[in-house]
Amino acid sequence: MSRNRIYKITGAVATVFLLLVLAPKFLPEMKIHLATEIMIFALFAVSFNLLYGYGGMLAFGFAAFFGFGAYATALIISRIPAMPLLLTLAIAALSGFVMALLIGPLAVRLKGTYFALITFAFQMFLYAIALKWRDVTNGDDGIGIARPDLYLPFLGNLSMAEISNLYYVTLALVALGIIACYLFLKTPLGNSIMCIRDNDVRSSFLGYSVYLTKVTVFCLSGFLAGLAGGLFVLFNEFVATNCIDLSMSFLVVLMALVGGTGQFLGPILGAAFYITFQDWVSSLTQRWWLFIGALYVVVILYIPDGLISLFKSERIRLFGNRKRG
């Protein structure tokens, strides 16, 4: 990467970050809500992209980790009110990690469609538990929570009922998660993951353990997804089976595809676009799902590399004669 490009990217990221920090000062409350939701799903989509875009593993049941983190958070907040908020969120992330550690060793032995389907099967299994174990999960009715305050040294108690406070906490944690993921991909282990995605046979004959590396990336993406799930519950003040169901799994696939997988910024852009689009369309019509479906079709047909590809230097042929395989 040229020095010039590094400066450009750093500048762009710093500008966006500054805007995000200042945003609550200017935006109406509704928009702060929207921005918070975007950030949470950006983290979710980034964690999915770590597995799919960089690890080459397409999981159809990725909501398993998001949902497990979400339920863990809701249960802790409702049953152990004294638990510090940051610790709760750390546990949410860890529960995503642990769930991935349980599923991963079985799932990563499979490839392609089989891998996609087995993750889906595990997710549906967890969904069934969330639905049927009413004593704990409240089934369809879900668990409502009140956002606990966040205690910070020097700053004292921050009320999370105040949306701008929640916004900043979300911003900090999401930024931390995304930056960590970005740096992680630049380490030798991050490189190992891409080696195995690109050529698993050659990699194993170079001494890479395909299995262990895959399990590792599976768990790390589960960790980030669990954190996103925890933040989502905090934001929504409610968890129900929709956090761990099929449509949540597909939502993250859709966001990543719309934005562009395999590109670091793609899923972030995808999440921002999707949430904004959904917010806008659903304010216009009740049949907004129809438009989401249309969006899916348009992206797959005309922008298969995602919205991020529109920003790349290559000439864009939106309606051109792209060769189809």
Partner 1 sequence: MHTILKAENIVKEFVGLKALNGVTLEVYEGERHAIIGPNGAGKSTLFNIITGMFKPSSGKMFFRGKDITGWPAHKIARAKISRSFQIINVYPKTTVYENIRNAVVSKFNRRFNWVTLLSRDQNIEKESNRLLDLLSLTAARDVLASELSHGMQRQLELALTLALDPELIMLDEPTAGFTRDESHKVVQLIRQVTEGKTLIIVEHDMEAVFSLADRITVLSYGQILATGTPNEIRENEEIKKAYLGRKGNGTGA
Out of 3, 186, 323, 324, the only residue in the binding site for partner 1 (CB under 8 A) is: 186
Q: Site map for partner 1, 154-183, x if CB under 8 A?
A: -----------------------------x
Tokens in use for 292?
């989401």
Residue closer to partner 1, measured from CB, 132 or 202 = 202
Q: How many residues bind partner 1 (CB under 8 A)?
A: 25
Q: Least distance to partner 1 from the beta carbon of 148, Å?
A: 32
Residue closer to partner 1, measured from CB, 136 or 189 = 189
Q: Least distance to partner 1 from the beta carbon of 206, Å?
A: 5
Q: Least distance to partner 1 from the beta carbon of 243, Å?
A: 29
Q: Least distance to partner 1 from the beta carbon of 32, Å?
A: 35
Q: Least distance to partner 1 from the beta carbon of 107, Å?
A: 19
Out of 155, 201, 297, 318, the only residue in the binding site for partner 1 (CB under 8 A) is: 201
Out of 36, 49, 170, 192, the only residue in the binding site for partner 1 (CB under 8 A) is: 192
Nearest to 162 by CA among 148, 172, 152: 148
Q: Given the rule CB under 8 A, which of 71-79, 159-167, 186-194, 305-313 is the region that contacts partner 1?
A: 186-194
Half-sphere exposure of 220 (CA within 13 A, CB side): 23
Q: Least distance to partner 1 from the beta carbon of 196, Å?
A: 10
Q: Given the rule CB under 8 A, which of 21-29, 64-72, 192-200, 306-314 is the region that contacts partner 1?
A: 192-200
Q: Given the rule CB under 8 A, which of 10-18, 70-78, 201-209, 274-282 is the region that contacts partner 1?
A: 201-209
Binding to partner 1, residues 92-151 (CB under 8 A): none
314 belongs to the binding site for partner 1 (CB under 8 A): no
Out of 10, 157, 191, 247, the only residue in the binding site for partner 1 (CB under 8 A) is: 191
Binding to partner 1, residues 203-232 (CB under 8 A): 203-210, 212-213, 216
Beta carbons of 127 and 67 less than 8 angstroms apart: yes
- Three-class HEC string of the chain: CCHHHHHHHHHHHHHHHHHHHHHHHHCCHHHHHHHHHHHHHHHHHHHHHHHHHHCCCCCCCCHHHHHHHHHHHHHHHHHCCCCCHHHHHHHHHHHHHHHHHHHHHHHCCCCHHHHHHHHHHHHHHHHHHHHHCHHHHCHHHCEECCCCCEEECCCEEECCCCHHHHHHHHHHHHHHHHHHHHHHCCCHHHHHHHHHHHCHHHHHHCCCCHHHHHHHHHHHHHHHHHHHHHHHHHHHCEECHHHCCHHHHHHHHHHHHHHCCCCCCHHHHHHHHHHHHHHHHHHHCCCHHHHHHHHHHHHHHHCCCCHHHHHCCCCCCCCCCCCCC
Q: Least distance to partner 1 from the beta carbon of 194, Å?
A: 8
Nearest to 38 by CA among 175, 162, 218: 175
Residue closer to partner 1, measured from CB, 209 or 247 = 209
Binding residues for partner 1 (CB under 8 A): 183-184, 186-192, 195, 198-199, 201-210, 212-213, 216
